[in-house]
Amino acid sequence: MGKILVTLTVGQKHFSNMPKPKTKSALQSRNNYNKLNNFPLVSCLMQDQSTANNLKHQLDTFAIHTAETQHITGLTEILVSSFYSFPEVFNWMYPLFKLIITEDLRYRLSYHPPLYCCLVALTKSNTDSEIIGTVEIALNSSFWSAKPQYPYISNLAVKDSYRRQGVGRKLLEKCEQIAWNWGYRETRLHVLHKNISAQQLYVSSGYQVLGIESSWSGFWFQDSRRLLLGKKLFN
């Protein structure tokens, strides 16, 4: 197995391992992040890349569909493995979380509001298709709020062995297309400030940092900071 060398740069306020912004909005987003982020940046260097590549499934083609109840088990596995990492002493909670997420997904897929969609990425196969990614988008409306409402993207997750092959970006683009078809010209989402790889995906896709917020997830992840990101949509 390839060794991973982790280097910690304290006080550095820029993405040292982020691709050069290709658009004005992406550059502005990076500048906004630099102003808001006062946290250490962890960058990882993978050594022995050939060995690392052998651990991943090479993805030829995949398709994105609207999720159905038959996909719930596979979606639950991806969501739990992507978002929930407990200390070893709490491993007994995994079955409980899987049950909660399974029933929550079942409810949302069966009784969702009109402006809601759950997407699933499936490998194209002559035999059995494999679930390799998912994302949800919904209009987060509030009866008591007079603030403008935006389509909100959440639970973007890709199976570990299929990451960095364009699956997450395609799911994100599909959500933006859905939001456009709903008649909205902006999407928003949250990402943990320590999740550098996800931030790279969003910023390179044109998302801009709107602010830093706290999250209940800090109880599990030992860090409650998360970034609110937004993107203006253009035809």
Q: Is the pLDDT of residue 207 over 90?
A: yes
The encoded tokens of residue 80 equal 């739990």
pLDDT of 162: 92
Which amino acid belongs to residue 82?
Answer: S
- Cα–Cα distance for residue pair 156/19, rounded to 1 Å: 21
pLDDT tens digits, one per residue of 89-121: 667 777 888 999 999 999 999 988 899 999 999
User: Which range has the worst mean pLDDT, 28-42, 57-71, 198-212?
Assistant: 28-42
Q: How far is CA 190 from the centre of its chain?
A: 8
Q: Is the pLDDT of residue 46 over 90?
A: no
pLDDT tens digits, one per residue of 58-89: 666 899 999 999 999 999 999 988 887 766 76
Span 198-210, average pLDDT:
95
Burial category of 229 from C-beta neighbours within 10 Å (exposed 0-12, middle 13-18, buried 19 and up): buried
- The pTM assigned to this predicted structure is 0.71
Q: So where are the chain's domains?
A: 59-149
DSSP-assigned beta bridge partners for residue 120? 65, 134
Please answer whether residues 222 and 37 qualify as being in contact, where contact means their C-beta atoms are separated by less than 8 angstroms: no
Span 111-137, average pLDDT:
90
The model's confidence at residue 224, banded by pLDDT at 50, 70 and 90, is: low
pLDDT of 51: 33
Span 211-226, average pLDDT:
65
DSSP assignment of the chain: ---EEEEEETT--S-TTSPPP-SHHHHHHHHHHHHH--S-EEEEEESSHHHHHHTSPPP--EEEEE--GGGHHHHHHHHHHHH----GGGGGGHHHHHHHHHHHHHHHHHH--SSEEEEEEEE--SS---EEEEEEEEE---TT--S---EEEEEEEE-GGGTTSSHHHHHHHHHHHHHHHTT-SEEEEEEETT-HHHHHHHHHTT-EEEEEEE-TTHHHHS--EEEEEEEE---
